[in-house]
């Protein structure tokens, strides 16, 4: 059957037509990206997408939302839209639908996309396991974390708030980073470092260590300079970010006891070449007595261009198979 897949974030809402059958996604059409600031609600954006397709849409929806899911009222992060699940049938003119957290959708994508949509980062260069737990984490505006449990009869996605575990520094530079952040926050979670905005704190900490004047730059500017290689301090901050991501991914792996780990998110994909060339892998396995265990875990990067849309459709397919 055909469904409308939607992936709603703070800045953009992406729409596509997907075909699902037998609990899986068979095809995902070309996505249409709308700016949330240009539409007053999900219903109005839905109508704009319908207009772009001649006015008619399938009567089924798979909606991934950057917010906790509940049955009454969903308030989106960094987006003034609200969604009232009891009104979805009426407002969107659908007969069936699935609502899923945005990173839960990524977990569904990890479970269903083919092996060709992953590249190897570290550990044994083998496919993700057909059974057992797979940890999924993705740096973006925050740090999303989920688990995918594959069994003999299918899979289950477990949404978590793993991005809010405590940050554990591993050297004197990270000690300084933690001290810097403790001057701002009562509690320092890993999301304060291993997410897009975290590059600012890393940059400012390195500037202080170097005895340089601290220029107040936003995260987008620092990321641009780091990825372009035009600022040595930003480049060093990028290296530190990759190290911290490797350590956090390893901690999450120990917590979940997985057979595989997947790095996801738009920022993760942008960092592909840097992760491969950085100390990410060394930090991932550096878990003392468990080093050999960590070295046995395949770590991948998902490269599918629309994991949120694909995962939303996969969540619908699984729920309504």
Measured CA to CA, the distance from residue 255 to residue 158 in angstroms comes to: 13
Q: Is 10 annotated as a binding residue?
A: yes
**Of 88, 105, 109, which is closest to residue 97 (Cα–Cα)?**
88
**Is 135 marked as a binding-site residue?**
no
- As a whole number of Å, the CA-based R_g of the chain is 20
The three state secondary structure string of the chain is CEEEEEEECCCEEEEEEEEEECCEEEEECCCEEEEHHHCCCHHHHHHHHHHHCCCCCCCEEEEEECCCCCCCCEECCCCCCEECHHHHHHHHCCCEEEEEEHHHHHHHHHHHCCHHHEEEEECCCCCCCCCEEEEEEEECCCEEEEEEEEECCEEEEEECCHHHCECCCCCHHHHHHHHHHHCCCCCCEHHHCCCCCHHHHHHHHHHHHHCCCCCCCCHHHHHHHHHHCCCHHHHHHHHHHHHHHHHHHHHHHHHHCCCEEEECCHHHHHCHHHHHHCCHHHHHHCCHHHHHHHHCCCEEEECCCCHHHHHHHHHHHHHCC
Distance CA 77, CA 300 (A): 28
Does 9 show up as a binding residue in the annotation? yes
Q: How far is Cα of residue 229 from the mean position of the Cα atoms in its chain?
A: 25
Is 154 annotated among the ligand-binding residues?
Answer: no
Whether residue 11 is annotated as binding a ligand: the answer is yes
Please tell me the distance from the alpha carbon of residue 297 to that of residue 127, in angstroms, as a whole number. 10
Those residues whose C-beta lies under 8 Å from the C-beta of residue 172, and which sit 6 or more positions away, are: none
119 annotated as belonging to a binding site for a ligand = no
Indicate the annotated binding residues.
Answer: 6-11
Residue positions forming the annotated binding site for ATP = 6-11
């Amino acid at each position: 059957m055909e469904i409308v897949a939607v992936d709603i974030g703070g800045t953009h809402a992406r729409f596509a037509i997907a075909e699902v059958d037998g609990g899986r996604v068979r095809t995902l059409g070309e996505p249409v990206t709308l700016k949330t600031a240009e539409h007053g609600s999900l219903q109005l954006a839905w109508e704009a997408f319908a207009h772009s397709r001649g006015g008619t849409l399938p009567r089924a929806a798979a909606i991934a939302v950057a917010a906790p899911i509940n049955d009454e009222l969903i308030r989106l992060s960094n987006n003034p839209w609200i969604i009232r699940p009891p009104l979805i049938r009426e407002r969107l003119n659908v007969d069936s639908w699935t609502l899923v957290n945005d990173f839960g959708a990524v977990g569904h994508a990890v479970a269903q996309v083919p092996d060709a949509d992953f590249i190897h980062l570290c550990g044994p260069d083998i496919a993700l396991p057909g059974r057992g737990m797979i940890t999924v984490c993705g740096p973006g505006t925050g740090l999303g974390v989920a688990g995918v449990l594959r069994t003999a009869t299918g899979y289950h996605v477990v949404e978590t708030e793993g991005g809010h575990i405590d940050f554990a520094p591993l050297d004197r530079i990270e000690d300084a980073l933690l001290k810097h952040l403790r001057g701002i926050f009562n509690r320092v979670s890993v999301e304060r470092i291993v997410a897009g905005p975290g590059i600012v704190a890393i940059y400012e900490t390195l500037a202080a260590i170097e005895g340089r004047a601290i220029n107040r730059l936003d995260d987008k500017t620092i990321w641009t300079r780091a990825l372009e290689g035009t600022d040595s301090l930003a480049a060093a901050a990028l290296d530190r970010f990759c190290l911290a991501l490797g350590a956090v991914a390893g901690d999450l792996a120990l917590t979940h006891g997985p057979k595989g780990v997947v790095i996801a998110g738009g920022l993760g994909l942008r960092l592909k070449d840097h992760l491969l060339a950085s100390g990410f892998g060394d930090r991932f396995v550096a878990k003392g007595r468990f080093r050999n265990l960590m070295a046995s875990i395949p770590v991948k990067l998902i490269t599918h261009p629309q994991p949120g849309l694909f995962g939303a459709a996969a969540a619908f397919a699984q729920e309504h198979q």
